[in-house]
Amino acid sequence: MNQKITACAFVHSNGKVFIAKRADTKKFLPGKFELPGGHVEYGEDIIAGLKREFREEFGVDIIVEGALYAFTYMNEEDHVIEVDFLAQLNDPQTKVTLRPEDHSESRWVTKQEQDEIWDKHDPEY
């Protein structure tokens, strides 16, 4: 059993939030939509790690505005501590480029659309 720290972001613009669908090849939650982010490396600043994940997985830079929520969960291998932040794209005109081994799709959604996606993909949410 390992302990991991993840950082994710509610990247918002014009009343919408950016979400991404995990690649079907992912071991944990394949094909599920999520708030983008990822694991913070050992010794890495949590905000720097979040920014790095967005550059690696989407080819965009973000401005992190602050922490919103923190929680923990367990899966088969890990105890995960997740911190969710509020953020914006550094340049709203930047084109998002998905890294296919991480995500198969991304969308900008309203709160209502986001709730419908969560309910559709995981009725236990």
Q: What is the pLDDT of residues 93-107, one digit of tens each?
A: 999 999 999 999 999
Q: Could you name the CATH architecture of 2-121? A: Alpha-Beta Complex (3.90)
The string of pLDDT tens digits covering residues 32-56 is: 999 999 999 999 999 999 999 999 9
Q: What is the pLDDT of residue 122?
A: 54
| pTM attached to this predicted model | 0.89
Q: At 111, which helix (H) or strand (E)?
A: helix 111-121
User: pLDDT per residue over 57-95, tens digit each?
Assistant: 999 999 999 999 999 999 888 999 999 999 999 999 999
**What's the half-sphere exposure (Cβ side, CA atoms, 13 Å) at 58?**
27
pLDDT of residue 123: 46
Q: Cβ contacts of residue 33 below 8 Å, gap of 6+? A: 19, 20, 21, 22, 107, 117, 118, 121
Tokens coding 123: 């009725």
Tokens of 116: 């419908």
For residue 27, the model assigns a pLDDT of: 86
Question: In the prediction, which pLDDT does 120 show?
Answer: 65
Confidence of residue 125 (pLDDT cuts 50, 70, 90): very low
